[in-house]
Chains A and B, each alone.
Chain A
């Protein structure tokens, strides 16, 4: 058993044991309260640059599924690689059991070169992050001689993570049963399930890089994906979205897409103390009794105060009142902070994809 420790920038040290790759790694430490879905979380590009701590203590139970492609997309993962810089758990299940598993979590992380640490009081860690805010940290793993291989702290807030996670080329994805709708997906680090959700509903998806000028191609609807980090890093995208407003084609944004759309609509974004990461975030559509439990993963939020008059906030978070979505008052432009594509997490909001495609159909 190789010793490791989680070191935080405030000086706290949590000793534990290494699993996954026996290398040290640094990033921003965040916590997620979901009780399932480690394969989905680890491959979610929105976690790029972050060390992910799971508050649910038992991780690795059902192993890792095979890497199979379906419609050119990884069937069981949200992208082609693990994006987190490290994983922190209370207890790692050495043995896994599931009909669809082909390897253990540790084996997979080792192959991908990502370290993980177990034996951490993740509840104590979570309380610390809750009270002091998300902070930098590193997993420092002992070398075979038993000496800690220290690394520098790394601040992902200083780099353009969106550019790192986005595709670099335009790719077209065709559904099995095309309905005719052509959707351009701005890839800020898109989860595969956004693609799957559109394809399943018969849309053809043209995935474009984060800074691609979408007005240069023809489409029926524009989708702005989720993505990591600070929306201020993607001013180019915001400018492109502003241009897209002119086309009057339906626009739908998710997570980072919500923040970029909001910025294009005049609002500001801010860094939250510790964000929303989990599968149990309650939201309500303002002016209605309609509520959903949603899957979320964001450290920045929209402050809708300066939204231009044509826009209004739509969803709000029932726990803390933060803005969970915006909508144009007359045009088919809207976005949500949460993840209607789920994977992982609850699927309550999946109907938003239907509504987006309906708005295209009505055009």
Chain B
């Protein structure tokens, strides 16, 4: 028992049970020690929509729990940018695809005693179930730890699930499992429209959709059947509340619910797409505990050991409920629940899987009380999804039962208003909260309220603005009125502040109320100045005024027990609903603040979290206190174990200034978390916050296009020619000067992507009149676009302007594919020595000129040894974890030391010493984004990446592409449409090789003609819009009655589609688009780049000719 507590709350009673602690010789520990020496954990692979950073966090926690027991841990995860695949987390790491084939080979080699399936999302779970079903686990005597596979199957198969729950009288949604479209129609008629359909065994609600009628059903059912051979037709409960519980159970049947959560958006919107509040706000005690009791009953009946998520629909007009689903694994929700409560769910689940009792484990926040308890929160948590839908052409902005968001933030406050306004700022899409934003236009406001889009919350704000009542908004949205009343109160404060024109006139009461309702200094500044002042100045003025009045935030702890017990927690947030701080501040300049990366988004995700975690570790190792600021619940950096202090709060100028004032740190590190902290550098510097590493002025010189260009000119470093232009005439003149194609970046975008490449004048006109706008106020940056150039990444660390370590890597694709979407090879395999020499020279000049101290990255183009710099960032880049891990030199550790002012030695190991190849490949989530054109361009579209190692280029590329969902075309049937004649010529050699290897090539008309002309046999197919036939007659290229390309794809008659787009702009919807989209919708691997296609197919041919695939762990390279 806890002596400290005994002295404070009661005389207590000393039991015979010696204070059970983690690792104490209790029953569970013995079980673990006796029978487990090596455990395999499956990761989730690349980040994708529906499966993102949360599994890095879960897996890292589980590995920590295992290692604490002295168990040798083996991890399979090709996601090289994760923290879990870093040195010191798992004992052995394999950067291999999480597929039954590869996992079996690792099992064969490693012979683990146990396997953990529930820490790597649906990917790991599906792979584990497959290994169980095909007998692999049995064959090698690998025990599944935690929830038994039978129980997993019972929750995954909807039919079994419904049966299982009805055994204990628990209501589920009436659901019919069907295997074809006709049965789906019949089932829908039985349950009555509207219905929802979902595909079994998929992640994040893939393939699920609402159908109001038979026509919609037929369409969506066909799509869902492409992902799974079983689909479910259910009655729709749109408008019901959606509530989740996170349940933990040990093998002795002890159960707790760690957290419940309520969706702000009613049922009908996937929980990953919904604003979620923890704990529930609108449930009475009876409702809360009725659902809690049921959750425990379900978890016991199913037989979970570890962690489980139960989702309910709750009638807003009675206590009637349905269980929506049960996830027998760690999930996005469980990561959120961990962060929301401070309860380390994954860590505890791993311990329970080893056989511990829940009550033997300690609450890791208090360190004294038991882990068998349910957290009491004394703050409110709001999760908000982050969408990047504007990055994709043709994607609907509507959100629904299938997930589209790419990231999320979590905001903490002591009122809902405080939390939600923080959260709306954190998502980082230019919004400043619920109100005081730039005006959003809604063509039809009622429609925007009824049919939710990624900006519905702002439609609600607009509705208040237009005088809609809470009742009316509720009627249109079904959002519970409690939430709407709270939003209305924000709106009302906004109205009150809007009355003032001078900061001095605002009553202090109102100012404090505004801060309590989550208004930022920026919002207040903008409202009071009515847009007459520069918003940044207005913000600083508002800030100065509130500080003069002594209105400051307070720092509160998250301690899991609502202050009932003393806690040593370092998990903190800021609030205005307080009168005292929970912590003391050292103010001794021994703290270093690291700014995190915020919400994961396209272009910034787990790789920056890896950088932040690495930086914090180094800061601590060097004897400083590491203070982390971040707001993303999917990260490892927001695990309070990772740092000395965690501020789970905004990465805004205001919050960082507040925290810096409290902490009085040695300085702030802005170069690890990607672009968000980088953008704060100058602004923090202007407020006298010390920035560590490269000076803010230098950062600005690299960020500012004009300054950087001038610098390059001065150094004699070449850049593609560019100009910032304000009229069409100027643009035409520039086009005449440098020639097409051109890269065009408008500063004001009407719709779609912000950047585009245009190949001729008509495309240019089309883009700048339809999609964007050019004017004095909205200049356009136009750059020369160099075709057939190699793109090169230069990642390095410099100290006082001198490069200490660097890594050069090359793209497989030619320039024109965003570096985040490119396939990257390290060390480079095809660069001239001369090119490398020149790049190093340029980099040295840049590092010196900008006096860089810390990490930096340059992107360069090379054509015939002619090198041009296209970008320079004085911060860590997306490729830092990849090159660090391939090179086995931690560039972040090195950079952090430099930033702290510690002299470092140049590592005596270089890329030339490597006798293996690393390849980083992008992961796309097009299957989640209905109608998006799955083609690569200058705007990034990938949601994640993998990095695999191989003995040579071909082995590495094969592994990495298999790890992102490509499959070896075992049917040996490929559909080609090779686009422009240049691409046709470039693909010819690989086509010959494919034929030699026994492949059948189908081609669209032009492609087939070209191939036949060059004596490569090919079968012509019709374009999607052609009149074609499925007749039995032998296909004839001259006949107009050909097999339609789409039919080939739909019927799974080809196992790879190569479709090279005709132009660079990727704007037009065409027959090409139909082919690409069909490949995505029917889950047929698709390649759209000539060079990548060639590389992949060469690797495939070699593999089919029995080229070996090495099963080697990271340390074996």
* Chain A residues proximal to chain B, CB less than 8 Å: 14, 31, 33-37, 39-40, 55-58, 61-62, 65, 90-91, 93-100, 121-124, 126-127, 130-131, 270, 272-276, 278-282, 284, 286, 289-291, 293, 301, 303-305, 313, 316, 318-323, 342-348
Contact = CB atoms under 8 A, between A and B. Distances in A.
Contacts of B380: 57-58
Chain B at the A interface: mostly helix, strand, loop or mixed?
loop
Contact of B13 (A61, A127, A316): A316
B596 interface: no
Given A61-B281, A126-B564, A319 B13 contact: no
B915 interface: no
Interface in B232-281: 252-256, 279-281
B10 A270 contact: yes
Interface in B298-320: 316-318
Contact of B254 (A130, A291, A313): A291
By Cβ-Cβ distance, the 6 closest A-B pairs, closest first, are A321-B1, A37-B285, A344-B285, A289-B252, A55-B562, A95-B485
B482 A96 contact: yes
A91 B415 contact: yes
Nearest to B360: A289
A57 B5 contact: no
Given A56-B376, A290-B253, 6 more contacts: A61-B482, A96-B482, A99-B317, A121-B554, A121-B578, A291-B358
Interface centre among B1, B9, B252, B376, by most chain A C-beta atoms within 10 angstroms, is B9
A349 B5 CA distance: 25
A321 B2 contact: yes
A93 B578 contact: no
Contacts of A303: 11, 13
B824 to A, nearest CB: 48
Given A33-B376, A95-B482, A289-B357, A320 B562 contact: no
B579 A319 contact: no
Contacts of A14: 579
B293 A57 contact: no
Given A57-B378, A61-B282, A289-B357, A320 B564 contact: no
Interface residues of B, number: 72
B373 interface: yes
A282 to B, nearest CB: 5
Interface in B471-496: 480-482, 485-486, 489
Contacts of A301: 10-11
A211 B223 CA distance: 72
B284 A98 contact: yes
Given A56-B562, A121-B579, A320-B1, A94 B485 contact: yes
A290 to B, nearest CB: 7
A28 to B, nearest CB: 16
Interface of B: 1-2, 5-6, 8-17, 252-256, 279-286, 288-289, 292-293, 296, 316-318, 357-359, 369-370, 372-380, 414-416, 470, 480-482, 485-486, 489, 554, 556, 561-566, 577-580, 582
A309 to B, nearest CB: 16
Nearest to A40: B285
10 contacts: A33-B378, A36-B285, A36-B288, A37-B285, A95-B482, A121-B579, A270-B11, A282-B372, A313-B13, A320-B9
Contacts, number: 214
Contacts of A289: 252-254, 357, 359
Contact of B378 (A37, A55, A272, A291): A55
Contacts of B6: 320-321
A37 B378 CA distance: 15
A160 B564 CA distance: 28
Contacts of B254: 289-291
A99 to B, nearest CB: 5
Contacts of B14: 321
Contacts of A291: 254, 358-359, 372
B469 to A, nearest CB: 12
Contacts of A124: 578-580
B282 A280 contact: no
Given A97-B482, A99-B316, A123 B1 contact: no
Contacts of A35: 279, 288, 376-377
A56 B579 CA distance: 16
A94 B481 CA distance: 12
Nearest to B480: A97
A121 B577 contact: yes
A275 B9 contact: yes
B369 A319 contact: yes
B376 A278 contact: yes
A55 B9 contact: no
B485 A97 contact: yes
A226 B359 CA distance: 27
B481 A123 contact: no
A127 B563 contact: yes
Given A61-B482, A95-B482, A286-B17, A55 B376 contact: yes
B650 to A, nearest CB: 19
A136 B872 CA distance: 65
Contacts of B296: 348
Contacts of B358: 291
A34 to B, nearest CB: 7
Interface centre among B256, B286, B377, by most chain A C-beta atoms within 10 angstroms, is B286
A319 B5 contact: yes
A91 B517 CA distance: 11
A87 to B, nearest CB: 16
Nearest to A289: B252
Contacts of A322: 9-13
Contacts of B316: 99
A44 B293 CA distance: 22
